[in-house]
């Protein structure tokens, strides 16, 4: 069994990306990411802080713009409009989830498609669906980069994705399909998830339920990608996979922490640099 070490690979990526930032700086271009955080959700605050620190490590300016959870939808739209029009801002990311009184789709649709480093705008999602060049959502992109790094061929593989969110499951399914896999997506209404997972070559799980994927749900030699991050009562962080038992059967598996999480951050940094290059017409 091999560990798909997202932490180690993301450190290599950061070294390469910081060289890209230096090159942009030498052209008098200074990439800038704005992260909007509404309210005080502890998990969101921790994710946003990690993104901010990663930007600092490679020389990207990052601004965290925080709003009270009672901000109106119109006020939030106004703030995004200002960032869309600010030439010094290259990437805009609205941390999800948003409070219930705000329509997330309306907010995501208001982001300039060329600054949409999360790839959540329906325009960019549609381009992904059509297998056209676009900003790709960070977690699915990070997973594909990790598989590619370990030379795992996806063509013709049976892939099962457990979780059908717009953030991870659906875009990941599109990327896998575009890469030549046969893809099944399981979700909350799936009658028997194990019926799908037990024959799959690659199982990706992102449902936010600790130890959801057990060893009797995967075949020998399977590749398992754990997208979950769950905090247990004792404060420890675990994924959605029963790592100790499942890893005994797998050929490759991602750990939590140190697997998909750091790759998500690297993918966001890459998207921010690419957005900057597109806006400044710098050849990639
Ligand atoms: N909430 C959970 N994951 C994400 C993500 O990748 N981007 C944003 N904007 N919000 C999230």
pTM reported for the whole predicted model = 0.98
Q: Count of domains in the chain?
A: 2
Instruction: Report yes or no on 249 lying in a domain.
Output: yes
Kindly state the average pLDDT of the residues 94-109: 98
Instruction: Report yes or no on 85 lying in a domain.
Output: yes
51 carries an active-site annotation = yes
- Give how far Cα 174 sits from Cα of 179, 182, 264, Å: 8, 10, 17
Q: What is the pLDDT of residues 151-181, one digit of tens each?
A: 999 999 999 999 999 999 999 999 999 999 9
Judgement on whether residues 163 and 70 belong to the same structural domain of the protein: no
Return the percentage of the chain with pLDDT > 70, whole number.
Answer: 100
Q: How many angstroms does the Cα of residue 248 sit away from the middle of ligand 1?
A: 31
Say if residue 130's pLDDT is above 80.
Answer: yes
Q: Single out the catalytic residue among 5, 112, 116, 118.
A: 118
Residue among 38, 47, 137 whose CB has most ligand 1 atoms within 8 A, to mutate = 47
Instruction: Report yes or no on 168 lying in a domain.
Output: yes
Instruction: Report yes or no on 84 lying in a domain.
Output: yes
Tell me which DSSP letter residue 215 carries: G
Say if residue 284's pLDDT is above 80.
Answer: no
**SS3 of the chain: helix, strand, coil, percent, to 5:** 40, 15, 40
| CATH classification at residue 196 | 3.40.50.720
Domain assignment of residue 32, given as a range? 25-113
191 carries an active-site annotation = no
Cβ(167) – ligand 1 distance below 6 Å = yes
Kindly state the average pLDDT of the residues 254-278: 98
Instruction: Report yes or no on 118 lying in a domain.
Output: no
Q: Mean pLDDT across the chain, nearest whole number? A: 98
Instruction: Report yes or no on 92 lying in a domain.
Output: yes
């Amino acid at each position: 069994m091999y560990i798909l070490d997202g932490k180690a690979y993301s450190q290599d990526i950061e070294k390469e990306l910081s060289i890209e930032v230096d090159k942009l700086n030498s052209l008098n271009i200074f990439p800038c990411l704005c992260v909007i955080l509404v309210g005080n959700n502890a998990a969101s605050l921790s994710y946003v802080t990690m993104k901010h620190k990663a930007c600092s490590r490679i020389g990207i300016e990052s601004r965290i713009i925080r709003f009270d959870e009672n901000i109106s939808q119109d006020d939030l739209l106004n703030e995004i409009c200002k960032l869309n029009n600010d030439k010094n801002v290259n990437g805009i990311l609205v941390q999800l989830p948003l409070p219930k009184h705000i329509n997330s789709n309306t907010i995501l649709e208001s982001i300039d498609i060329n600054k949409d480093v999360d790839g959540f705008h329906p325009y960019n999602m549609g381009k992904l669906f059509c297998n056209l060049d676009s900003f790709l959502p960070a977690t699915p992109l990070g997973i594909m980069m990790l598989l590619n790094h370990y030379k795992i061929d996806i063509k013709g593989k049976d892939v099962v994705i457990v979780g059908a969110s717009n953030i991870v499951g659906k875009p990941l399914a599109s990327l896998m399909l575009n890469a030549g896999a046969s893809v099944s997506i399981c979700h909350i209404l799936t009658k028997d998830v194990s019926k799908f997972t037990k024959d799959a070559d690659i199982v990706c799980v992102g449902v936010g339920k600790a130890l959801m994927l057990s060893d009797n749900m995967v075949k020998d030699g399977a590749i398992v990608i754990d997208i979950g991050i769950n905090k247990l009562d004792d404060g420890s962080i675990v994924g959605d996979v029963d790592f100790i038992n499942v890893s005994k059967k797998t050929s490759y598996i991602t750990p939590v922490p140190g697997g998909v999480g750091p790759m998500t951050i690297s993918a966001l940094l890459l998207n921010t640099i690419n957005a900057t290059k597109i806006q400044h017409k710098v050849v990639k």
